[in-house]
Amino acid sequence: MKALILNGGEDKSFQTVEAALLRDLEQRGLAVTALQMREMDIETCVGCFGCWIKTPGQCTINDAGRDVARQMITSDVVVYLTPVTFGGYSYHLKKVVDRFIPNILPFFRFYKKEIHHPQRYPNRPILIGLGILDKPDPEQERMFAELNLRNALNMEPPGFAAGVVYRSDSKDEISKKVVNMLDKAEVQNA
Amino acid sequence: MPKAIGLIGSPRGAKSNSKPIADYLLGKFEGQGFETETVLIYPEHRKDPALKGVIEKLDGVDLVALVFPLYIDSLPARLIRAFELIHKHRKDRKSSKDQRFMAICQSGFPESHQNLLALDMCKCFAELSGFRWIGGLPIGAGAIVGEQNLVDAGGRVYFIRNALDMTAEAIARNEEIPEEAIVAASKLPVPAWLYRLIGNSSWKQRAKKNDLRKRALYAKPYARH
C-alpha cells in the first residue's frame, strides 16, 4: 500500500507536520513518498481539455505534472498538505491538483443531486486535506473543510478527512490531530 | 476619472468564456465614466516576475472586476498565485483609497451554487488585502457563453446580461451587488438534464474531430496492474 504526501508549503516550515504524517502513515504499514511541490517545475493547466479529447487520461503537457497525476491515482492514500490560503490550497499545491483532471472523465452525470464528472478509474486513493494556519480562523477553516468535501464529491475517494493544525501547536498536538484525521479517513493498517 | 480593471483569471485567456463576460461589464462601466483596462492573468503573466506589473497596477485602481472559471472547486492555480503575491504586496500597505473588488465565477456545471465557495475565497482575499468586497456572481453552465460577444450571443445569455446590467447599475450607485443580480446569474436558459445531454454529445463530437471514438475516451493509461 502506498501513500503520497503533496507538500504545498512555500518553505521548509512544514517539516514537523510532514514528519508526523510520515511517521503515522508508515506505522500503518504504508510506503510513503513526500513531494515538495515548490521544488517541482510543473506547468499550470491551460484548460485545453486535451486530456479528455486528444490523449484521454493523459495531460498534453509533458512535464512532472503527468507523473504526479499517475502517482496520485495509483496511491492508496493521498495527503494534500498546504498552508490554508484564502480558505483554499496554496498555489504550489493547486498547480498540481489542477493537473489531476485527466483522472476523471469529461462526461456529465447526476451524483448526489448535482452534476459531476464520472470517475475514470475504479480504484482511487483516500484523500486527506491537512491545512496549516498561523492561528484559529473559523471562516477559513470552514472554507477549507468545504473545499475538501467538494473535492471528495468530484473525486469520490473511498474515504476522506480534512482538518487544520496551527503553527503554534505542539508536536504532541500535531501528532494527535494527524492520527485523528487518518482514523477518520479510515486509513487502515496495510 | 475613476479606473476599473477587468481581471481575467482563465487559463484560456482571450479565448475563454470569462473574457466576453468581463468585456460586457467593462463596457457598462465605461458608460458610467470609468476608464477601463483588461488584464489577462494567463498567458501573459504565467511567471511570477510578470505579475509585478499587475500588482502595481492594482494600487491605483478604484474597482476590480475579476472573472474566472471554477477549477476543481476553487480558483485556477495561477490566479491563486496572483492573489498570494498581491496580498503579500498589500498586507502592510497603508492606503485611504476606497478600492472596490467584485468577482464573477463561471463553471461548466449547471448548478451555480457550485461556484459559491470560490467566491467566498475571493471575498477572503479581498478583505485580507485591503479591498472593499462588494459581492460576487455565480454563473452556472458557463460553456453556454462561448467566445462570442454577449450582445451578439442572443437569448441564451439573457440572464447573464441581465445580472451584469443590475450589477453595473448597483456599482454606479456605490452599492453592493444586489440579490436580484445573483438570482439572475444563477438562472439557466435550458434545464439541467438538457444541458447534460448537450454537454455529453459535445464531448463526443469534439473527440471525433481528433479521430477518437467514444470508447477511446474511457482509456485508463494509469490503471493499476
Quote the CA–CA distance of A79 and A77 in Å, as a whole number: 7
Contact between A47 and B210 using a beta-carbon 8 Å cutoff: no
Does the beta carbon of A45 lie under 8 angstroms from any beta carbon of chain B?
Answer: yes
Beta strand A114-116 with A109-111: parallel, antiparallel or unpaired? antiparallel
Which candidate from A88, A91, A110 shows the least CB-CB separation from B81?
Answer: A91
Residues 6+ apart with CB under 8 A from B86: B54, B55, B58, B125, B129
Quote the CA–CA distance of B223 and B225 in Å, as a whole number: 6
Instruction: Give alpha helix (H) positions in B60-174.
Output: 77-90, 116-128, 158-172
Q: Which SS3 state, helix, strand or coil, does residue B173 take? A: coil
Domain ranges of chain B: 3-189, 192-225
Q: How does residue B96 score in pLDDT terms, banded at 50, 70 and 90?
A: confident
- pLDDT the model gives residue B224: 86
Report the complex ipTM: 0.97
> Would you say residue B45 has pLDDT above 70?
no
Contact between A98 and B80 using a beta-carbon 8 Å cutoff: no
Query: Which residue of chain A has the CA closest to B111?
Result: A114
In 3D, which of B49, B48, B35, B36 has the Cα closest to residue B8? B36
Crossing angle of the two packed helices B48-59 and B77-90, in degrees rounded to 10: 50
In 3D, which of A10, A2, A176, A145 has the Cα closest to residue A72? A2
| Helix, strand, coil percent content, chain A, rounded in steps of 5 | 40, 25, 35
> Would you say residue B46 has pLDDT above 90?
no
Contact between A109 and B196 using a beta-carbon 8 Å cutoff: yes
Residue found under cell 517541482: A40
- pLDDT the model gives residue B106: 96
> Would you say residue B143 has pLDDT above 90?
no
How far is residue B190 from each of residues B46, B142, B154, B198, measured CA to CA in Å?
36, 12, 14, 10
- pLDDT the model gives residue B94: 76
Q: What is residue B190's DSSP assignment?
A: S
If one counts every other C-beta atom within 10 angstroms of the C-beta of residue A185, the result is 20
Query: Which residue of chain A has the CA closest to B11?
Result: A46
Contact between A47 and B83 using a beta-carbon 8 Å cutoff: no
Does the beta carbon of A183 lie under 8 angstroms from any beta carbon of chain B?
Answer: no
- pLDDT the model gives residue B154: 86
Q: Give the residues across from A128 on adjacent strands.
A: A79, A161
Query: Which residue of chain A has the CA closest to B192?
Result: A115
- pLDDT the model gives residue B35: 97
Quote the CA–CA distance of A79 and A131 in Å, as a whole number: 10
Q: What is residue A31's DSSP assignment?
A: E
Q: What are the grid coordinates assigned to A153, written together?
A: 464529491
Does the beta carbon of A140 lie under 8 angstroms from any beta carbon of chain B?
Answer: yes
Quote the CA–CA distance of B66 and B68 in Å, as a whole number: 7
- pLDDT the model gives residue B142: 85
Residues 6+ apart with CB under 8 A from A120: A57, A73, A102, A103, A104, A105, B218, B220
Contact between B11 and A45 using a beta-carbon 8 Å cutoff: yes
- pLDDT the model gives residue B210: 94
Q: Give the residues across from B35 on adjacent strands.
A: B3
Handedness of CA A132, B48, A54, A64 (dihedral sign): negative
Crossing angle of the two packed helices B116-128 and A138-155, in degrees rounded to 10: 150
Q: What are the grid coordinates assigned to A185, written together?
A: 479517513
**Class of the CATH domain delimited by B3-189:** alpha beta
Residue found under cell 490523449: A55
Quote the CA–CA distance of A121 and A175 in Å, as a whole number: 32
Domain annotation for chain A: domains and CATH numbers: 2-184 (3.40.50.360)
Contact between A95 and B74 using a beta-carbon 8 Å cutoff: no
Gap from B223 CA to chain A (nearest CA, Å): 7
Residues 6+ apart with CB under 8 A from B152: none
Gap from A172 CA to chain B (nearest CA, Å): 30
CB-based contact A59:A99 (threshold 8 Å): yes
Ranges of residues in chain A whose predicted pLDDT is under 50: none
Q: What is the pLDDT of residues B146-191, one digit of tens each?
A: 878 998 888 889 999 999 999 999 999 999 999 999 999 999 888 8
| Helix, strand, coil percent content, chain B, rounded in steps of 5 | 50, 15, 35
Does the beta carbon of A66 lie under 8 angstroms from any beta carbon of chain B?
Answer: no
Average pLDDT rounded to a whole number, residues B72-101: 93
Element (H, E) at A141: helix A138-155
Quote the CA–CA distance of A133 and B134 in Å, as a whole number: 26
